[in-house]
Amino acid sequence: MAQILVVDDEIGIRELLSEILSDEGHQVLLAENAGAARRLRSAQRPDLVLLDIWMPDTDGITLLKEWAANGQLSMPVVMMSGHGTIETAVEATRVGALDYLEKPIALQRLLATVKRALRNQEVPVSHRLSLAALGRSAVLGNLKKRLAQLAQVGSPLMLRGERGMQAEMFVRHLLSAGAPFVSGIDALNDAPSDVLARAAGGILFVADLSRLTRGEQKNLEFLLTRAEKHKARIVSFSPVEPQRLVSDHDFDADLAVRLSELVIALPAVREFAEEVPDIAALVLAQLVEARACPPHRFSTAALNALRHYSWSGNLAQLDAVVKNLALTALEEEVQLADVERVLAAHSGPVAAGELPLDQPYREARDAFERLYFEYQLSRENGSMSKVADRSGLERTHLYRKLKALGLPVGRREES
């Protein structure tokens, strides 16, 4: 029969459900809190989870959101509560729960719900990184709040940031549950009526304005004039400011103005470096969950090395490095040596063409210093004393310099 995970902080309920479900021929796993449920979910892949909402450590809705964000919501989940509300039930199903059981749970209702849930085991799983799972840093925490404020606004929104930021993750944070999401430059070459029909009530996302041809720009302008009628919101990303779109990328000036009614800057990865270990662990967990690689986990030293790397290629580079590690690490635990090996393969000397020689002296100097210290931090695995020795700077001066450049401060003590 099926393997069912029961998560409830009341021992009496756990034992009662275990007895009933075991009598039906199911294998039952028991967890008394969210922490135990996390461990069992990672070690096993249950066919169904019965999840209590009110628990002392982490509530069931939060755990459900966590599984969804981590790509671990690959099984049906039925929520349970003794004092729930309609709003709670709606929130649970919005996040991804299949059904809702009110305590005390009637036997026939339980068995019917379990039977129906086990017939619906094909749960769509997202293997993309979700902003909902992040927010340890003040930078991302504040950005999530700003995006939440703008989620109900219908005006066009432009996201600005460095290349490699995987802007789609941030755009999806604006999306309400069940709303359509249409992405890709290819959509600009489809029939406008079809595109608007697909995006109605949701978001049409243009991933890189700097790469649009004049023809694609005209199509986008046409969609922009009709988006409000279809309640479709146009959200775009540009790696350069609107003025440079026009001057350097043959972009229509009026269209650039209209698309940039609202602009939000996306921080580079170096500005939320404390999130890197969580991001890397989430990406690896999703790869393991999707069976795209053997089971792996990061050692603490490996995560620290990733934390102190400069990530000039931002989230795209981090994603590529984690996938490389997932496929090439020989042991179950990814070690520091593995990270150093893969980072060395992804790093290289800065080409002259990458230096910002066409910028004013001050901006060019800052860019060079950033590249210089990114290289030194990567080379010395975040060791501040070694970087200070190599650069010839006093430690206090080095700390101030790194903070001024927006670079992560490395380890204060040698390990």
Q: What CATH number does the domain containing 334 carry?
A: 1.10.8.60
The dihedral sign for the CA sequence 358, 362, 366, 371:
positive
- Residue 131 near residue 140 (C-beta atoms within 8 A): yes
The kind and range of the H/E element at 150 are helix 138-150
Backbone angles phi, psi at 127, to 5 degrees: -105, 20
Query: pLDDT tens for residues 50-64?
Result: 999 989 888 999 999
Residue that finishes a domain, picked among 233, 265, 297: 265
Residue 330 Rama label (left phi>0; alpha psi -120 to 50; beta): alpha
Q: 368 lies in a domain? A: yes
The kind and range of the H/E element at 212 are none
- Residue 30 near residue 39 (C-beta atoms within 8 A): no
Q: 71 lies in a domain? A: yes
Give dist(CA 358, CA 370) in Å, integer: 17
Overall pTM surpassing 0.85 (yes/no): no
Q: 22 lies in a domain? A: yes
Report, in angstroms and rounded to the nearest whole number, the Rg of the chain calculated over CA atoms.
25
pLDDT band at 357 (very low <50, low <70, confident <90, very high): low
Residue that finishes a domain, picked among 119, 140, 175: 119
Residue 87, pLDDT > 90, answer: no
CB neighbours of residue 178 within 10 Å? 8
Residue environment code for 123-146, b if the CB has 16+ CB neighbours within 10 A, otherwise e: eebeeebbbbbbbebebbeebbee
Q: 411 lies in a domain? A: no
Residue 124, pLDDT > 80, answer: no
Q: Are residues 372 and 338 in the same domain?
A: no
Residues 6 or more apart in contact with residue 25 via CB below 8 angstroms:
1
Q: 60 lies in a domain? A: yes
- Residue 203 near residue 155 (C-beta atoms within 8 A): no
Q: Are residues 241 and 273 in the same domain?
A: no
Give dist(CA 73, CA 319) in Å, integer: 21
Q: Are residues 51 and 156 in the same domain?
A: no
Using CA atoms, how far residue 20 sits from 1, 82, 117, 178, 201, in Å, is 14, 19, 16, 35, 44
Question: What is the pLDDT at residue 351?
Answer: 47
Q: Are residues 36 and 153 in the same domain?
A: no
Backbone angles phi, psi at 48, to 5 degrees: -160, 145
Residue that finishes a domain, picked among 119, 142, 157: 119
Question: What is the pLDDT at residue 348?
Answer: 53
Cis bond upstream, residue 104 (ω within 30): yes
Residue 84's identity, in one-letter code, is G
Question: What is the pLDDT at residue 390?
Answer: 85
Give dist(CA 22, CA 305) in Å, integer: 46
Q: Are residues 363 and 257 in the same domain?
A: no
Q: Are residues 253 and 339 in the same domain?
A: no
Mean pLDDT of 207-224: 92
How many domains does the chain fold into? 4
- Residue 218 near residue 250 (C-beta atoms within 8 A): no
CATH assignment at residue 242: 3.40.50.300
Question: What is the pLDDT at residue 93?
Answer: 79
CB neighbours of residue 177 within 10 Å? 10
Percent of all residues in the chain with a pLDDT value above 70, rounded to a whole number: 92
Give dist(CA 39, CA 293) in Å, integer: 20
Query: pLDDT tens for residues 92-111?
Result: 877 788 889 988 899 999 99
Residue 86, pLDDT > 90, answer: no
Q: 356 lies in a domain? A: yes
Q: Are residues 250 and 375 in the same domain?
A: no
Six-digit token pair at 300?
A: 């603490």
Q: Are residues 49 and 106 in the same domain?
A: yes
The burial of 329, by beta-carbon neighbours within 10 Å (0-12 exposed, 13-18 middle, 19 or more buried), is given as buried
CATH assignment at residue 25: 3.40.50.2300
Residue 207's identity, in one-letter code, is A
CATH assignment at residue 358: 1.10.10
- Residue 221 near residue 252 (C-beta atoms within 8 A): yes
Domain extent at residue 384:
352-405
Give dist(CA 307, CA 300) in Å, integer: 10
Residues 6 or more apart in contact with residue 300 via CB below 8 angstroms:
none
Q: 380 lies in a domain? A: yes
Q: 176 lies in a domain? A: yes
Q: Are residues 342 and 358 in the same domain?
A: no
Residue 70, pLDDT > 60, answer: yes
Give dist(CA 156, CA 149) in Å, integer: 14
Query: pLDDT tens for residues 26-43?
Result: 999 999 999 999 999 988
Q: Are residues 13 and 113 in the same domain?
A: yes
Query: pLDDT tens for residues 310-326?
Result: 898 899 999 999 999 99
Q: Classify 60 as helix, strand or coil.
A: helix
Q: Are residues 256 and 207 in the same domain?
A: yes
Question: What is the pLDDT at residue 367?
Answer: 78
Q: 281 or 128, which is more confident?
A: 281
Where would I find the beta strands (DSSP E) of 278-361? 297-298, 333-334
Q: Are residues 281 and 299 in the same domain?
A: yes
